[in-house]
A and B are shown apart, each in its own frame.
Chain A
Amino acid sequence: GIQVEQSPPDLILQEGANSTLRCNFSDSVNNLQWFHQNPWGQLINLFYIPSGTKQNGRLSATTVATERYSLLYISSSQTTDSGVYFCAVEGDAGNNRKLIWGLGTSLAVNP
């Protein structure tokens, strides 16, 4: 099945710094979503981005489907950005109905 790898596994930033999180996937996809899981465990949809580029405030994401990777950019990080960032994909082969999840990038933003 499709494999999803995220890097880095852990990241510590000072408030105000920028960062880039990466998601590599092993096969073509028809769904790629980025989520933020906050310290209380809630999953928050950040982007639905199987291809192209999107921006939402300080966050933006780019997926290059032909090269099988996606990047999540966080600019001017804030302490509220702390938590785990997950990339999840749905392969476009066959009758897939499930999101396959990476192991996440754990981000800590220090004041």
Chain B
Amino acid sequence: NAGVTQTPKFRILKIGQSMTLQCAQDMNHNYMYWYRQDPGMGLKLIYYSVGAGITDKGEVPNGYNVSRSTTEDFPLRLELAAPSQTSVYFCASSYGGGAGGYNEQFFGPGTRLTVL
């Protein structure tokens, strides 16, 4: 199993450009998440999905959009990139939610995004 994969690893955008960060998992997990990590901080949740066709906002959703058309893929779209979106983006997945071990989250390697 590849686990959670993310592309690209690095990207530089100009202000106002758009891009899509790709995330895929091959563990047949139902839940997927997007987080961002700013320097010296823990991670903050942007969006999450509990299954194909279902998405919901996290703590910091402004400036981002997501879709979940398949169980495996959960792309994150940045529209009109701004310097405040310079960050490291992590995708994660879990089998489910709630207690009992189903909610253990597994993380991808991250995408380092700079907006100039």
A interface residue numbers (CB < 8 A to B): 4, 30-31, 33, 35, 41-43, 45, 48, 50, 86, 88, 90, 92, 96-99, 101-104
Contact = CB atoms under 8 A, between A and B. Distances in A.
B45 A98 contact: yes
Contacts of A50: 99
Contacts, number: 58
Nearest to A1: B59
Interface stretch (B21-29, B75-83, B105-113): B105-113
B98 A99 contact: no
A4 B43 CA distance: 12
Interface string B36-68: 000011111100101000001011000000000
Interface residues of B, number: 27
Given A30-B98, A30-B99, A99 B31 contact: no
